[in-house]
Amino acid sequence: MLERIHKQGRRLVTAAGLALAVAIGGTAAAQGESKEPIVFGGSIPLTGVFAFAGIHIHAGLSDYVDWINSQGGINGRPVQYVMEDTGYLVDRSVATYKKLSGRHRICCYYGDSTGFMQAIAADLNNAKNMIMSGASFATALTRVDKHPFQFIPGPSYSQMFAIILEYIAAEANKEGKKATVAFVYSDTEFGRDPIESSRAYARNLGIDVVEEIMTKPGSVDVSAEVIKLRRKRPDYVIFHGYVLSPINEFMVQMRQMGLNTKFMGTFWTMDRLIIDKMGKDADGFMGVMPYNYFGEDEDGPMYRVMHEQARKSDPNQAYRPTPYVQGWFNAMVWTEVVKRTLDAGKPLTGENLKEALDSIKDWDTGGIIGVPVTVKDNSFPVGRIYRVNAAAGRFEPVSDWIHLD
């Protein structure tokens, strides 16, 4: 079930990782390739309810493309990044995809939502001309038969829950007790995504799910729900389907009642926003993150490159949120897949790109993720548990990297 890989990414950077920049900047003369640009495309939400992430995703993608072109492109071919703002609306995202793919020969595309990824899947499967990843970590995308040309740039939401539950089970085992948890999730497709599978996963680990609560997303009155949790007194509450509210309301009210419950979340909650908004009340909040945080005490050639490129593009911004790292990592995977396809002497079709994606095994990301990673079921099922140190204003790791078999 579980493979733990010890400990910090800086000790696991390999010679292959150090050679990454040189490898992906190989010359066209050596490869015999054309100078035709390699095109990355994107439906990017620069406005709308997801703009807080979309702006940084766009910055991560843009900075990576600027950097890879400064290294000679991919096998000597320049990379072109084309995108349009979608406002986080599925219809606009679909229209943007059709417009951009009609104008450009795009090989890799960023989708702004689960709704878009699902809406465009049939077209993508019929065209067989590109691969697609993006903001979605939806469990449905791990269905290779339904989504052969789409992948998740990290663990799925169900895999995130599994990583959290593995951590909880290990902590309970150290204490010689049986852990109890509650699931609190939003009444959205996003919120409901991992719940059913996580019930079974918890049961198999000997964890009791003592309460499940579904709320509307955003700021709502949770006093009745907090009373339910007070009665059950779970050791952990796992939140999913929110960015911030009503997580903050739950945490503050439960602590005021004297409960010692530990609070945990998934990727879109695990940014410094929760520290900025909650201050000292965020202390101790935990959750799963598939990447190393920007600006922390990690090392690796690509991790350093990302920082240098970020400073070059905006020297006044010292920190980059997790969506920036997610955007950068998406472009890294696309580059790796394109390079493997070209190195094999194959055209950049969806089927060839997918074959290259599936060949990724024990890949050194140069410190973006702290351990070598392997693609399985259209995803990278790896993560680490972090906890908020409010006084320091940062997330700090409290587990080793956890791989799911």
Separation between Cα atoms, residue 61 and residue 76, nearest integer Å: 19
The more confident residue out of 32 and 376 is 376
- Would you state the pLDDT for residue 297? 73
User: Could you give the percent of the chain with pLDDT greater than 90?
Assistant: 88
The mean per-residue pLDDT over the stretch 170-184 comes to 96
The mean per-residue pLDDT over the stretch 259-278 comes to 96
Q: Are 394 and 405 in contact (CB under 8 A)?
A: no
- Would you state the pLDDT for residue 10? 34
Separation between Cα atoms, residue 117 and residue 122, nearest integer Å: 10
Encoded tokens for 404: 């799911």
Distances (CA, A) of 47 to 52, 55, 87, 201: 8, 8, 5, 37
Q: Are 182 and 211 in contact (CB under 8 A)?
A: yes
pTM: 0.91
- Say yes or no to pLDDT of 296 above 60: yes
Separation between Cα atoms, residue 87 and residue 396, nearest integer Å: 33
Give the pLDDT confidence of 33-59 residue by residue, as tens digits.
468 999 999 999 999 999 999 999 999
- Would you state the pLDDT for residue 15? 35
Distances (CA, A) of 331 to 79, 89, 218: 11, 23, 31
The mean per-residue pLDDT over the stretch 326-355 comes to 98
**Exposed, middle or buried by CB within 10 Å (0-12, 13-18, 19+), for 219?**
exposed
The mean per-residue pLDDT over the stretch 266-280 comes to 95
- Would you state the pLDDT for residue 13? 36
Peptide bond into 246 cis (omega under 30): yes
- Would you state the pLDDT for residue 14? 37
- The contacts of residue 256 (CB under 8 Å, 6+ apart) are none
- The contacts of residue 53 (CB under 8 Å, 6+ apart) are 45, 135, 268, 321, 323
- Would you state the pLDDT for residue 299? 84
The mean per-residue pLDDT over the stretch 136-148 comes to 98
Q: Which domains does the chain have, with CATH numbers?
A: 2-155+294-374 (3.40.50.2300), 157-289+386-404 (3.40.50.2300)
Amino acid letter, 393: G
Separation between Cα atoms, residue 287 and residue 55, nearest integer Å: 23
Question: H helices within 233-269, ranges in order?
Answer: 247-256
- Would you state the pLDDT for residue 261? 98
Encoded tokens for 251: 């945490």
Give the pLDDT confidence of 67-118 residue by residue, as tens digits.
999 999 999 999 999 999 999 999 999 999 999 999 999 999 999 999 999 9
- Would you state the pLDDT for residue 34? 66
Reference 193, options 137, 276, 233; nearest CA is: 137
User: Could you give the percent of the chain with pLDDT greater than 70?
Assistant: 92
- Say how many C-beta atoms besides its own lie within 10 A of residue 301's C-beta: 18
pLDDT band at 176 (very low <50, low <70, confident <90, very high): very high
Residue at token pair 């902590």: 171
Mean per-residue pLDDT over the chain, rounded: 92
- Say yes or no to pLDDT of 338 above 50: yes
DSSP letter at 91 equals: H
> What are the E-state strand segments in 17-150?
38-44, 79-85, 106-111, 131-134
Give the pLDDT confidence of 388-399 residue by residue, as tens digits.
999 999 999 999
The mean per-residue pLDDT over the stretch 183-202 comes to 97
φ, ψ dihedrals at 69, nearest 5°: -70, -30
pLDDT band at 12 (very low <50, low <70, confident <90, very high): very low
Sequential DSSP letters for 7-23: S-GGGS--HHHHTHHHH
The more confident residue out of 24 and 192 is 192
Q: Which residues of 266-275 are buried (b: 16+ CB within 10 A; e: fewer)?
A: bbbbbbbbbb
pLDDT band at 32 (very low <50, low <70, confident <90, very high): very low
The mean per-residue pLDDT over the stretch 157-181 comes to 97
Separation between Cα atoms, residue 383 and residue 1, nearest integer Å: 14
The mean per-residue pLDDT over the stretch 139-148 comes to 98
- Say yes or no to pLDDT of 352 above 80: yes
Separation between Cα atoms, residue 153 and residue 177, nearest integer Å: 35
CA atoms within 13 A on the CB side of 137: 25
Give the pLDDT confidence of 121-134 residue by residue, as tens digits.
999 999 999 999 99
- The contacts of residue 396 (CB under 8 Å, 6+ apart) are 386, 387, 388, 389
The more confident residue out of 202 and 4 is 202
Separation between Cα atoms, residue 147 and residue 75, nearest integer Å: 28
Q: Are 234 and 264 in contact (CB under 8 A)?
A: no
